[in-house]
Amino acid sequence: MRLLSSAALAAVMSVTALSGASADTLKIAFIDPLSGPFGPTGQDGLNEWEYAAEQINAKGGINGNQVEVTGYDNKVNPKESLVQLQKALDNGVRYIAQGNGSSVASALIDAITKHNKRNPGEEVLFLNYAAVDPSFTNDRCNFWHFRFDADSDMKMEAITDWVKGQEDIKKVYIIGQDYSFGKAVAAAAEKNLTEKRPDIEIVGNELHPLGKVKDFTPYVQKIISSGADAMITGNWGADMVLLIKAAIDSGFDGKILTYYGGSRGAATAMGQAAVGQVMAIVEHNTNLEMSDAHAAYVDGYEAKYSESNYYYQRIDNAMHMLAMAAEKADSIDPVDVAFALEGMTYEGPTGTLTMRADNHQVLQPMFMSTFSDNVARGVDNGPFGWVADDAARIEAEDTRTETTCQMTRPSK
Amino acid sequence: METIVFSLLNGVIYGLLLFMLSSGLTLIFSMMGVLNFAHASFYMLGAYFAYTISEASSFWVALIFAPILVGLVGALVEKYGLRTVHVNGHVAELLFTFGLAYLIDEVVKIIWGRNAVDYKVPELLDFPLFELFGAQYPAYRIFTLFVALAMLAGLWFILNRTRAGLIIQAALSHPHMVGHLGHNVPRIFMTVFGVGCALAGLAGVIGGNYLVTDPAMGVQMGPIVFVVVVVGGLGSLMGAFLAAMILGLLQTFAVAIDARFADIFGWLGLDATSELGSITIASLAPMIPFLMLVLVLMIRPRGLLGDREL
């Protein structure tokens, strides 16, 4: 199917080339896992980038240039990513998209900065759509990096904003994976909760080994006997699914507040019992009120890729903001586009998005989505999906965090 | 008090699941002297077969037929694969099972997809059996307990009280002698391999919906099963049972204990804020099996109840 579509894309492009337009191709290299355990996740991302490109090409492309997205498999390995980056550069790519793994993003940021310093006139821009390490927009902020996802501190800001309005939550248990990300989530949760709801008692703060626990029941029983009425976790993958399953089996009846409850395959594993109890902080879900145009966009995607669900609204956002910036600058040169992106606002499907000029972090409305069995659009080909009402909406401005970024900009 | 009760229950159930998984392996291991790396993959196959069968009919049908199917696959693998490779020695056999594990993993991904499948606990057992200190205890877990106990009793009876068991036991330690007495030793090997795989399959049927059925479940269980077999001792079912129980209990108790190194070794002047002192006992839980493996190999290489050295 994809072979066919890229063939069609190639055909379309060769026609435009023949028609003698002076237009260039705007090449985006998608550097993420396309094989191995995280392959399916990466493939979803690539599908959405390709779909976004296709849609914008149908409307005349970015500032008159056709967009071409090519996947480069990095196997979530920072070293391999640099090899793929070099390959992309050799192919004349000037835009890099990546999201899975902050370790990879970190390596890419360093390599791109070096490349841009050494090759003036051939600068490359990094569109980060999912790597959430806060340092990329703080201490390690960089002119060539733009993040279209909320960082992990902002997500915690949003989760705790929601908790603030929930009077019946009195005791919170924090549980996470024992590595840098889990620790960062725990620290942010503790800090935010003590600020926003000093009356809340944090009854437990626990880290478990990453990807090694098969039965979470002992942890859950600890959580239940602590009397917690909400649990916050940054867990992803099997660690998240097993934790939620064990919690529900043991009759934990509080809310389970997650970062990645919406990730691929989780809905099937959680099942009916998780309905109404599991929540996830996301920038979009397919059961939000959508304009006709946006609904058509989502349906078009799900019809084309029946295996996957529409998940990354931020990819659509990134593509549109890239197009707006290129038009504003009347150029597709990364330097001009980067300057145009700074401080830009975009009226997206969920509200107004702003790309902060001071640290290149997007501000967008976030939604504390709830797992539901009463949905118009389900996920994983099942009856379950995610919903969010007005009370679950966290405004873009409320997710703003202080930044320590000292941006150094190139001369225009 | 509640911590102890819960940890006991959970530990026993987890231990029994481990035992179901490793009982077949310990038989195969002592018979052929080769660790079957693909053993945990048969566990995964059991879960997937059970999922497919229970979609088509019911869980109860799956409970009976999925292990039989896995056993048949195992028997075929022994007859057409391992037996041919056997002439080239143990290393070839080891590598064969190693490759087989990857093969099964990939085949499962192709047939059932890369994501978890919706293998549910049967509705009949999907209710909280009793409430204990505010936490519910699912009936399915207790059912797991009984299935494992029934399996243990059945296995013990066959091996110790029947003629077939007598021959198997003899073939385990003296295959040539049994062969000279006129028994078909290759067929005994095939049967034991098949039954061993079927037991792993049964563990998969039970464990697949109690945990998660996804293509990573085999890889996750693999190492810990080896630990049970080695710690328990070669060819000793009782040893495997003991080792599985000890492992299950130790791991759950370690998680339940809210203590840090500093609380225990405080008298040595260990500070709770120091690197070492701030390590929690709970975070050591996944390390315990492998610590046991290393210690047993060093101190008592034939395992808890084994009669032969490795």
Q: Is residue A404 part of a domain?
A: no
For the segment A2-17, what is each residue's pLDDT rounded down to a tens digit? 555 555 555 444 444 4
Is residue A237 domain-shared with residue A381, that is, in the same domain?
yes
User: What confidence score (pLDDT) does residue A51 get?
Assistant: 96
User: What confidence score (pLDDT) does residue A41 get?
Assistant: 82
CB atoms within 10 A of CB B173: 13
Is residue A18 domain-shared with residue A146, that is, in the same domain?
yes
* Cβ-Cβ contacts under 8 Å for A366 (sequence gap 6 or more): A150, A154, A155, A158, A281, A282, A283, A393, A394, A396, A399
Q: Choose among A95, A191, A190: nearest CA to A148.
A: A95
Give the strand pairing for A145-147 and A230-233: unpaired
Question: Is residue B44 a contact partner of residue B108, using CB atoms and an 8 Å limit?
Answer: yes
Q: Do A225 and B3 touch (CB under 8 A)?
A: yes
| Statement: residue B309 has pLDDT above 70 | no
User: What confidence score (pLDDT) does residue A37 get?
Assistant: 66
For the segment B145-154, what is each residue's pLDDT rounded down to a tens digit? 899 899 989 9
Q: Is A344 helix (H, G, I), strand (E, B) or coil?
A: coil
For the segment A47-98, what is each residue's pLDDT rounded down to a tens digit? 999 999 999 999 999 999 999 999 999 988 899 999 999 999 999 999 999 9
> Shortest Cα distance from A248 to chain B (angstroms)?
9
Q: Is residue A185 part of a domain?
A: yes
pTM of the model: 0.78
Q: Which two tokens stand for residue A164?
A: 């603030």
Q: Mean pLDDT across the stretch A358-377?
A: 93
* Cβ-Cβ contacts under 8 Å for B240 (sequence gap 6 or more): B19, B22, B23, B26, B228, B229, B232, B233
Question: Which of A31-35, A110-114, B216-220 comes out lowest in average pLDDT?
Answer: B216-220
- Chain A CB contacts of B6 under 8 Å are 218, 221
Question: Is residue B193 a contact partner of residue B75, using CB atoms and an 8 Å limit?
Answer: yes
| Statement: residue A19 has pLDDT above 50 | no
Is residue A325 domain-shared with residue A388, that is, in the same domain?
no
The CATH number that applies at residue A21 is 3.40.50.2300
Q: Is residue A403 part of a domain?
A: no
Q: Is residue A407 part of a domain?
A: no
Question: Which of A20-34, A106-120, A266-280, B241-255 comes out lowest in average pLDDT?
Answer: A20-34
> Shortest Cα distance from B215 to chain A (angstroms)?
9
Q: Does B106 touch chain A (CB under 8 A)?
A: no
Q: How many domains does chain A have?
A: 2
- Best to test chain A binding among B7, B211, B213 (most A CBs inside 10 Å): B211
Is residue A130 domain-shared with residue A266, that is, in the same domain?
no
Which stretches of A119-245 are assigned E, i.e. beta strand? 125-128, 145-147, 171-177, 201-208, 230-233
Give the strand pairing for A366-372 and A362-363: unpaired
CA distance B206 to B67: 10
Q: Is B192 exposed, middle or buried (0-12, 13-18, 19+ CB in 10 A)?
A: buried
CA atoms within 13 A on the CB side of B115: 19
User: What confidence score (pLDDT) does residue A15 get?
Assistant: 44
Is residue A161 domain-shared with residue A193, that is, in the same domain?
yes
Is residue A175 domain-shared with residue A265, that is, in the same domain?
yes
Q: Which CA distances in Å does A347 have to A217, A294, A343, A363, A394?
A: 45, 12, 13, 12, 16
Q: Which domain holds residue A166?
A: 153-282+366-398
Residue in A with minimal Cα distance to B7? A218
Q: Does B1 touch chain A (CB under 8 A)?
A: no
Question: Is residue B31 a contact partner of residue B93, using CB atoms and an 8 Å limit?
Answer: no
- Best to test chain A binding among B1, B106, B115 (most A CBs inside 10 Å): B115
Give the strand pairing for A145-147 and A125-128: parallel
For the segment A266-319, what is each residue's pLDDT rounded down to a tens digit? 787 788 888 999 999 999 999 998 999 999 999 999 999 987 889 999 999 999
* Cβ-Cβ contacts under 8 Å for B275 (sequence gap 6 or more): none
The residues in B 231-290 lying below 8 A from A, measured between CB atoms, are: 252, 255-256, 258, 282-283, 285-286
What is the enclosing helix (H) or strand (E) of A385?
strand A385-387
What pairs with residue B132 in β-bridges? B135
Q: Choose among A154, A117, A162, A169: nearest CA to A335.
A: A117
- Chain A CB contacts of B10 under 8 Å are 215, 217-218, 221
CA distance A16 to B81: 57
Q: Is residue A406 part of a domain?
A: no
At residue A341 the predicted structure's pLDDT band, cuts being 50, 70 and 90, is: very high
Q: Do A380 and B117 touch (CB under 8 A)?
A: no
CB atoms within 10 A of CB A369: 25
Nearest to B283 among A40, A178, A220 (CB): A178
Q: Is residue A265 part of a domain?
A: yes
Q: Is residue A315 part of a domain?
A: yes
User: What confidence score (pLDDT) does residue B178 get?
Assistant: 86
CA distance A378 to A239: 23
CA distance A271 to B101: 29
Give me chain B's average pLDDT, please: 85
Is residue A134 domain-shared with residue A202, that is, in the same domain?
no
Alpha carbon A333 to its chain centroid, in Å, reads: 25
* Cβ-Cβ contacts under 8 Å for A402 (sequence gap 6 or more): none
Is residue A268 domain-shared with residue A384, that is, in the same domain?
yes
User: What confidence score (pLDDT) does residue A89 get?
Assistant: 95
Is residue A104 domain-shared with residue A158, that is, in the same domain?
no
On whether ipTM exceeds 0.90, the answer is no
CA distance A145 to A338: 9
- Best to test chain B binding among A214, A244, A309 (most B CBs inside 10 Å): A214
| Statement: residue B181 has pLDDT above 70 | yes
Report which of residues B254 and A360 the model is more confident about: A360
| Statement: residue A157 has pLDDT above 70 | yes
Question: Is residue A2 a contact partner of residue A50, using CB atoms and an 8 Å limit?
Answer: yes
What b/e string do you get for B85-110 counting C-beta neighbours within 10 Å, with b at 16 or more? Answer: bbeeeeeebbebbeebbeebbeebbe
Is residue A135 domain-shared with residue A164, that is, in the same domain?
no
- Chain A CB contacts of B283 under 8 Å are 178, 207-209
Is residue A117 domain-shared with residue A161, that is, in the same domain?
no
Is residue A243 domain-shared with residue A256, that is, in the same domain?
yes
Nearest to B134 among A39, A225, A245 (CB): A225
Phi, psi angle pair for A96, to nearest 5°: -115, 130
What pairs with residue B44 in β-bridges? none
What is chain A's alpha carbon radius of gyration, rounded to the nearest angstrom? Answer: 21
User: What confidence score (pLDDT) does residue A319 get?
Assistant: 96
Give me chain A's average pLDDT, please: 88
What b/e string do you get for B36-75 counting C-beta neighbours within 10 Å, with b at 16 or more? Answer: bbbbbbbbbbbbbbbbbbbeeeebeebbebbbebbbebbb
At residue B310 the predicted structure's pLDDT band, cuts being 50, 70 and 90, is: low
At residue A18 the predicted structure's pLDDT band, cuts being 50, 70 and 90, is: very low
Residue in B with minimal Cα distance to A251? B136
Q: Which CA distances in Å does B295 have to A293, B253, B298, B302?
A: 65, 20, 5, 12
Q: Is residue A277 part of a domain?
A: yes
Q: Mean pLDDT across the stretch B11-16?
A: 89
User: What confidence score (pLDDT) does residue B294 get?
Assistant: 92
| Statement: residue B240 has pLDDT above 50 | yes
Q: Choose among A55, A105, A142, A79: nearest CA to A316.
A: A55
| Statement: residue B266 has pLDDT above 50 | yes
At residue A118 the predicted structure's pLDDT band, cuts being 50, 70 and 90, is: very high
At residue A190 the predicted structure's pLDDT band, cuts being 50, 70 and 90, is: very high
* Cβ-Cβ contacts under 8 Å for A188 (sequence gap 6 or more): A152, A153, A156, A157
